[in-house]
Amino acid sequence: MRKMPGQRIVELSVTPIPVHYRKELGKNAYGENIGRERTEWLVRARTEYGQEGLTIANRFMRQFNGFDNSAGTVRGLVALLREMFLDKRVDEYLETSDGRVVGVRDAYKEAFQTHGWMSILAFDLLGQDLGISCVDLLGGQARDRVPAYDTTLYFQDLLNPEQGAAQVSLEAAASHDEGYNEFKIKVGRPGRWMAPQSGMERDVEVVLAVREAVGPDAKIMVDANFGYDGRLDLLEDFIRETLTANIFWLEEMVTADVGDYRVLRRMRDRLGSDALLVCGEVDRDPPSQVFRDLVNQGLIDGYQPDSVSAGFSRWQSLEQWLKPTGVRSIPHNFGNGNFGTRATLVFGAASPTFASLEDERHHTNVYAEDDVSFADSQYSVPSGPGLGLAIDTDMYQKRYASHEVRVT
């Protein structure tokens, strides 16, 4: 039977897929050890002609707050997917012009604002239906390769106190040997886990040790997860004492506040640092007012709503807002698994304001091998239609199919 455009979605399923880090991840400024494993809540949507779109519903499943409501439950997710996708046409979600998505149709705007991850599924299905890449649907390829950074340098020194700061630098050196040349280091030890002065000193020690381990040409970023809140005096010391490390960006050093960021920007300039000031991963409904103010007043250089939670349609509108400001798009991607890496890669390939992909460096799990390669801290751009991502059917059947929930 010849495939006609605008196929109907005839089957959906939800499957929890374990995803494993290559090592145990330690604490950050506010949270306990991350550990070795997380979950991708894989959503598969199949059309009447056998094409399949993918997304993950991690954001929805994190909303669990008890069984008295359906948020964060499988039953709630199944009901939502049934309402939004089952027996719908793949071309009824997105407005297109000349092979590019220019907006979301009115009937789905509110849903895609709330559940941005669903917009990625809509893009994937439409791209496969039309036989074109989501990169093209997002506006066309802006770069041939997409830079990526290792985001796994947590408080590894606290996992291995005998090694201390050397543990972080050893892991950075190993990552460098595996092809990474961009690294984000968790700092903010004054916030919870150490006495304020000694925590700041350990932050400095770690950053300088990593710089020595990876050499002068690598990019180093730091993320404090607000660990310097209320201690701008210690933050000034940290910036001053790490100037020789040539930090590329300072992320969430303090909570998003116009007054504090104004002080921080003046402090950075006075000390002679060239580091970008970036934040926004906590913005759950981007852009919320405080982040509008930070961008419009020129107080930040990079904005970080989550790549999957915000989704492609929301990020498209954010980019249009950011372009004239010079603020970089730096989507948060931690906790999104291997699917999030692919979604962020696709967005980064099309985004003219994109800085770098947050790479959790997971082991492979349920996805089939394809033509995407990694070298010199950069990923190649996928060539297939949609996301260019497919399920390894044999592996799925052997390891995961028994946990599948069908949407009927």
Q: Is the pLDDT of residue 87 over 70?
A: yes
178 plus 303 within the same structural domain: yes
333 plus 355 within the same structural domain: yes
Instruction: Give the model's pLDDT for residue 408.
Output: 86
Instruction: Give the model's pLDDT for residue 1.
Output: 45
Extract long-range pairs of 197-200: CB within 8 Å, 24+ residues apart. 197/234, 199/227, 200/231, 200/234, 200/237, 200/238
Predicted TM-score (pTM) of the model is 0.97
101 plus 173 within the same structural domain: no
Distance CA 58, CA 83 (A): 18
How many domains does the structure of the chain reveal? 2
Q: Is there a domain that residue 2 lies in?
A: no
Q: Is there a domain that residue 121 lies in?
A: yes
Q: Is there a domain that residue 1 lies in?
A: no
64 plus 209 within the same structural domain: no
Kindly tell me the sign of the dihedral angle through the C-alpha atoms of 335, 337, 340, 345. Answer: positive
336 plus 245 within the same structural domain: yes
SS (H, E, C) 6-56: CCEEEEEEEEEEEEEEEEEECECCCCCCCEEEEEEEEEEEEECCCCEEEEE
Q: Is the pLDDT of residue 5 over 80?
A: no
SS3 (DSSP) at 247:
coil
Q: What tens digit of pLDDT does each residue of 347-380 get?
A: 999 999 999 999 999 999 999 999 999 999 999 9
Other CB atoms within 10 Å distance of the CB of residue 144: 9
169 plus 304 within the same structural domain: yes
112 plus 25 within the same structural domain: yes
Domain residue limits at 116: 9-138+390-407
Instruction: Give the model's pLDDT for residue 4.
Output: 61
Q: Is there a domain that residue 151 lies in?
A: yes
Q: What tens digit of pLDDT does each residue of 96-132 get?
A: 999 999 999 999 999 999 999 999 999 999 999 999 9
200 plus 296 within the same structural domain: yes
> Contact, 47 vs 83, CB < 8 A?
no
345 plus 300 within the same structural domain: yes
Closest CA to 306 of 131, 103, 119: 119
Q: What tens digit of pLDDT does each residue of 149-174 get?
A: 999 999 999 999 999 999 999 999 99
Instruction: Give the model's pLDDT for residue 3.
Output: 58
- Cis bond before residue 147 (omega within 30° of 0): no
Q: Is there a domain that residue 44 lies in?
A: yes
44 plus 152 within the same structural domain: no
Token pair in block for residue 216: 């002068």
Q: What is the CATH number of the domain that holds 26?
A: 3.30.390.10
219 plus 361 within the same structural domain: yes
Q: What tens digit of pLDDT does each residue of 253-292 get?
A: 999 999 999 999 999 999 999 999 999 999 999 999 999 9
Closest CA to 348 of 386, 383, 381, 305: 381
**Over the chain, what is the mean pLDDT?**
97
% of the chain with per-residue pLDDT over 70: 99
Closest CA to 121 of 308, 251, 380: 308
Distance CA 367, CA 17 (A): 11
Q: What is the CATH number of the domain that holds 283?
A: 3.20.20.120
CA dihedral 320, 297, 284, 363 (to 10 degrees): 70
Q: Give the chain's radius of gyration (CA, Å).
A: 21
246 plus 348 within the same structural domain: yes
Q: Is there a domain that residue 385 lies in?
A: no
% of the chain with per-residue pLDDT over 90: 96
Residue 363 DSSP symbol: P
Cα separation values, 233 from 30, 67, 197, 237, Å: 20, 45, 10, 7
